[in-house]
Amino acid sequence: MRGVDKRSALPDLGRISVLTSAVLLAFALTRLLPATAVDLRLTLGEFYLVYPLNLTNVLTFFAAGLTATGMDWLLRGHPALGGKRTVEHWLLPMLTTLVIGVPLGLLPNGAAWWGTFAIGGVVLVVVFLAEYVAMDSAVPSYAVSTVLLTALSFAIYLILATALAATGPRLVLLLPSVIVVSGLVALRALHLRLHGRWEFLWALGIALVSAQFAAALHYWPVTPIQFGLGLLGPLYALTSLAGNLEEKTSLRRAMTEPLFVLFLAWGAAVVLG
């Protein structure tokens, strides 16, 4: 048993090194390839949508896909895997890769780009390690890894929402992004908290409410960080409320922490304004 616990605690260093290097290599290639964009046009009657697609976007999505398959490959070496599925362990690594790719695609060459590149590599390793540990609830570090993954999920959501607002997208592009990311973060957080239960209806409802807030904030004169905090507050509050209710907590107690965090996030957004 001791041997199994030791093997479960950390993944194979060779695999995690190869995976991290491959993802970072995809990002490094964006500095070497031309940034010429091709406009993708969708026309429906009087309505038209233009989305500029360049190699940076393509490589970022490629890196996200590589992260998902790499996480699966990493978990195949876990002694507690058995016949378990690994799909839930792909979500946060994929989102992390997308979040890292956004600033790397916007920053010019220089110290800031390389600093973000290095920090992104460290964050990826932390996420890979935490997801690996979270595969086995019997190891002593399982509770720490689930708390870390939940915190990282909401932190990454804040960064991604802020980055999305900074790019000034049209509402028709913003809303699908908010729905997908909000739903995935809520789904993963509830899955971790409720010990493996999938709450798809809660996640869908939370995603749709988040989209309503995003639509309202899109037309308000708010800064990108205010936009991110404005979405983070409801997302965390609703996800926490859903977890409390599913754990059969009384309604008054179930609402206390979510409301506190909601007002804290919105208060921070007002102060930063």
- Same structural domain, 123 and 204: no
Q: Which domain does 164 fall in, by range?
A: 151-273
Residue 141: how many CA atoms within 13 Å on its side-chain side?
16
Contact 165, 155 (CB under 8 A): no
Verdict on whether the full-model pTM lies above 0.85: no
Distance CA 173, CA 169 (A): 6
- Same structural domain, 2 and 125: yes
Residue 145 falls inside a structural domain: no
Strand partners, 39: 52
pLDDT, position 7: 46
- Same structural domain, 229 and 196: yes
Residue 227 falls inside a structural domain: yes
- Same structural domain, 177 and 227: yes
Running DSSP on this structure, what letter comes out for residue 108? Answer: P
Burial grade of 140 (CB within 10 A; 0-12, 13-18, 19 or more):
exposed
- Same structural domain, 86 and 175: no
| Radius of gyration over every alpha carbon of the chain, rounded to an integer in angstroms | 20
The pLDDT confidence band at residue 205, using thresholds 50, 70 and 90, is very high
Of 140, 172, 202, the last residue of a domain is: 140
Distance CA 111, CA 119 (A): 12
- Same structural domain, 123 and 206: no
Instruction: Retrieve residue 237's tokens.
Output: 């509050």
Instruction: Please give the mean pLDDT across all residues of the chain.
Output: 84
pLDDT, position 48: 59
Distance CA 187, CA 93 (A): 14
pLDDT, position 172: 76
Contact 76, 16 (CB under 8 A): no
The helix (run of H) or strand (run of E) holding residue 51 is strand 47-53
- Same structural domain, 116 and 2: yes
Residue 88 falls inside a structural domain: yes
- Same structural domain, 131 and 28: yes
The pLDDT confidence band at residue 200, using thresholds 50, 70 and 90, is very high
- Same structural domain, 184 and 130: no
| pLDDT tens digits along 249-258 | 888 889 999 9
pLDDT, position 5: 43
The pLDDT confidence band at residue 173, using thresholds 50, 70 and 90, is confident
> Among the residues of 89-223, which ranges form H helices?
91-106, 111-133, 142-166, 171-193, 200-218
pLDDT, position 13: 83
Residue 146 falls inside a structural domain: no
Residue 158 falls inside a structural domain: yes
- pLDDT at residue 2 greater than cutoff 50: no
* Number of compact structural domains in the chain: 2
Cβ count within 10 A of residue 7: 16
Of 140, 170, 192, the last residue of a domain is: 140
* 21, amino acid identity: S
| pLDDT tens digits along 39-80 | 556 666 666 566 666 677 788 888 889 999 998 888 887 777
- Same structural domain, 87 and 214: no
- Same structural domain, 117 and 158: no
Q: Which residue has the higher pLDDT, 160 or 50?
A: 160
| pLDDT tens digits along 10-40 | 777 888 889 999 999 988 887 777 666 565 5
Distance CA 104, CA 102 (A): 5
What is residue 167's three-state secondary structure?
Answer: coil
Of 89, 109, 140, the last residue of a domain is: 140
pLDDT, position 4: 41
* Size of the chain in residues: 273
| pLDDT tens digits along 92-142 | 898 889 888 877 877 778 888 888 889 889 989 989 988 888 887 777 788
- pLDDT at residue 224 greater than cutoff 80: yes
- Same structural domain, 165 and 234: yes
Instruction: Retrieve residue 138's tokens.
Output: 């019997």
